Structures are given as C-alpha cells and as structure tokens.
Amino acid sequence: MKLSSRTEYGVRAMIELAEAHGGGPVAVREVAEKQGISEKYLEQLFAALRKEGLIASQRGAQGGYTLAKAPGDIRVGDIVRALEGPIALCDCLANGEDDAVCHRMGECAAHPLWVKLQDGITSILDSTTLQDMIAGASGDSANDMGGNSEEESRDEQDLP
C-alpha cells in the first residue's frame, strides 16, 4: 500500500502544468527543478502522459508541455492509469467487471472485499481533478466512499 514515486512525481508535475495552464508550454527542466525530480526521469513520465493524451508537447526551443485538456477535465485517476496502467488490485480484478476470472474464484472469500476496495480507490481518484487540487481543496464532490473522511480539508490549502 504505497504510492510509487512514479505516481507521486507524475501528479505533482501535472499540478505544476495545471498551474501554468493558459500560459505557454513549460519545459521539463523547469518542472523538474521546482518539484525536485530528476529531469531525465520526469521526461519519461511525460512521455507516458503524452501517449495517453493528457498532455501535449511543443518541440524545439521555447517548447515544453501543456495540459491537453482543461484542469477540470483531467482526473487524478487518469494520471495514475497513464503512469501505472489500469488500476487492478489483483489479477482477478483486471477487467474490473464481475466477469473477471479468478483462478480460485468460487473459493475466494476475499474477492468481494478487493472489489470494494478497488472501487473505493478508483472512485476517489476519479472524483478529483487537477482543478480541484490547485483550487486548494481535495475535491470530494459527490463521492465519499463511506469513509471517515468527515474531516473536510477546509481551508488548509497548504499543508504544514
């Protein structure tokens, strides 16, 4: 249960682009420096994000990257999937639907829990957009996975 640096970096970088949205393209170097990420590594993450159509590139001098859509149209889930592939807690959930085939299917009492967990995760990640994040709140729109997240991260836009 740990985020990969890939995901952490990717999301932070996308936030950076979101904040620059509307202006010109931003170079990898700039994002890497601001966020303290290896430039060459981030380059690779951007390649993946670009392949999935989340960002667009402008080559050559003064070039860089821009969001391919409005910040409100890019969900964190999209970023995670672009960087890590489909969110599938275990192989038997790869399809995401109930026709998924578990090799031990009939016997696996844990299966329903994994489904629930995966749905919960997906639903949180997909209900938060870049816009939500740069607005300073964790966007929790209509979606509360029954969690104890009653703690509405109010006005604490920047963390301690």
Stretch that binds its own copies, among 21-29, 55-63, 66-74, 127-135 (CB under 8 A): 127-135
In whole angstroms, the minimum distance from the beta carbon of 38 to DNA comes to: 3
Sign of CA dihedral 155, 68, 6, 41: negative
- Give the DSSP H or E segment for 30: helix 28-35
Q: Tell me: does residue 47 bind DNA (CB under 7 A).
A: yes
Q: Please report how close the Cβ of residue 26 comes to its own copies at its closest, in angstroms.
A: 16
Give first-to-last CA distance, the chain, whole Å. Answer: 24
Contact segment (CB under 8 A) with its own copies among 20-28, 43-51, 53-61, 86-94 equals: 86-94
Q: Which of 115, 110, 116 is CA-nearest to residue 145?
A: 116
110 touching DNA, by CB under 7 A? no
> Applying CB under 7 A, does 148 fall inside the site for DNA?
no
**Closest distance to DNA from the beta carbon of 36 (Å):** 9
Q: Which residues contact 19 (CB under 8 A, 6 or more apart)?
A: 134
Binding site partner of 68, from its own copies, DNA, none, Cβ cut-off 5-8 A by kind: none
Number of residues counted as binding DNA (CB under 7 A)? 26
Q: Does 65 bind DNA (CB under 7 A)?
A: yes
The two counts, helices (H) then strands (E), for the chain are: 6, 2
What are the Cα distances from residue 110, in Å, to 25, 54, 60, 115, 124? Answer: 47, 35, 52, 9, 22
Kindly state whether residue 49 participates in binding its own copies, applying the rule CB under 8 A.
no
Residue that is written with structure tokens 């957009």 in the block:
129
Give the nearest distance from C-beta 78 to its own copies in angstroms: 13
Residue numbers of the site for DNA (CB under 7 A)? 4-6, 9, 26-29, 37-38, 40-41, 43-44, 46-47, 50, 57-65
